[in-house]
Amino acid sequence: MSNTTNTNVSIVHELIKPLNTILGFTQILSKDKTLQSDHKEMIALIHRSGETLLSQIHELFDLDDNETEISFTVKEIVPLEVNTSIQLLVVDDVATNLLFIEKMLSRYSNITTHGAIDAQSAIDQITKIRPQIVLLDIHLSDMNGFEVIQHIRKDAQYNNIIFIMMSSDPIFYHEDQLKSCDVKAYLKKPIHIKNLITLLERFLTIRSDESQEEETLPIVSQPDKLPDENYLKEIIRLARQGAYSEIKNVMEQLQTKQSEFIAFIHYLEQLLKKFQFNEIIDWINSYKTKGDHVE
């Protein structure tokens, strides 16, 4: 990489550090069932603002933000034969990132999460607990993540450890090192809960304590009929603002005045419960009225 590119990577890394915390814990808080709807709405607004700031940072430094948030560096993945406790080590020099991932994985009854804030601590933990998976940040204070792997791989007894690198850097910055160190996957920061879980499910059999509850929730299919364009435009406007309560009000008005759109209301409510504002916008825009998208 050129000196300019190295400088940009360093600056972006420092800018995204606090965003990792903001976007991480807003995801955790959004799932807190004890919070009132207006508090969840404010959390959703904070999260959307953080996402907007992240996009502006990528645009400002001319970084490619179109790549997938999970990149697999191996073509075929053979899941580990693990039916009991899974030892997982997270290595990150920002303590709040460790806490965020630990909170994310706390609902999985067969995952025990350990943390390390620097390379030497990571090496000590690996030799002590022998984790099946290591989530490893590239940028550490004492040595980088690839140097950690090289040190560990000197001992053949640790060759079966699955290393997953984490960074806000575009993956092409590290392609050669990822291959030479036999890294299995690359996870972009800021980390989204669904991306981390999707990634772990490729390697492990994990059991969620919340899975039973999630499976019992009714799945509502997309309705065939949507209300008139004025309602749709208003819902899109509110979704762009993350205005949870206001969208609920529109739904109540619609149900009172036009009960034939009950299927639309139920489907919208399903998305709204998970604060999937972008999905609401994309879904409505994909529904063509008079041949045009609703803007």
pLDDT tens per residue across span 236-278: 988 887 777 788 888 888 887 777 888 888 888 888 776 677 8
What is the pLDDT at residue 212?
40
Is 131:87 a contact under the CB 8 Å cutoff?
A: yes
pLDDT at 149 over 80: yes
State the pLDDT at residue 20.
80
Q: What is the pLDDT of residue 291?
A: 46
Q: What is the pLDDT of residue 142?
A: 86
pTM over 0.75: no
Confidence (pLDDT) at 282: 86
* DSSP helix/strand/coil, 208: strand
What's the rounded Cα separation, in Å, for the pair 99 and 16? 17
pLDDT value for 292: 46
Check whether 123 has a pLDDT greater than 90.
yes
Q: How far apart are CA 106 and CA 49, in angstroms?
A: 26
Question: Cα separation of 228 and 103, whole Å?
Answer: 42
Here the tokens at position 38 are 């207006």
| b/e per residue 49-66 (b: at least 16 CB within 10 A) | ebbebbeebbeeeebeee
Residue 232 confidence (pLDDT) above 60: yes
Helix (H, G, I), strand (E, B) or coil at 243: coil
Q: What is the mean pLDDT of the chain?
A: 80
pLDDT score of 290: 45
Angle CA 45–48–51, to nearest 5:
150
Question: Is residue 283 pLDDT above 50, yes or no?
Answer: yes
218, amino acid identity? P
Percentage with pLDDT > 70 across the chain: 79
pLDDT exceeds cutoff 60 at 101: yes
Please tell me the distance from the alpha carbon of residue 238 to that of residue 271, in angstroms, as a whole number: 14
Confidence band for 223, pLDDT divided at 50, 70 and 90: confident
pLDDT of residue 51: 82
Amino acid at 66: N
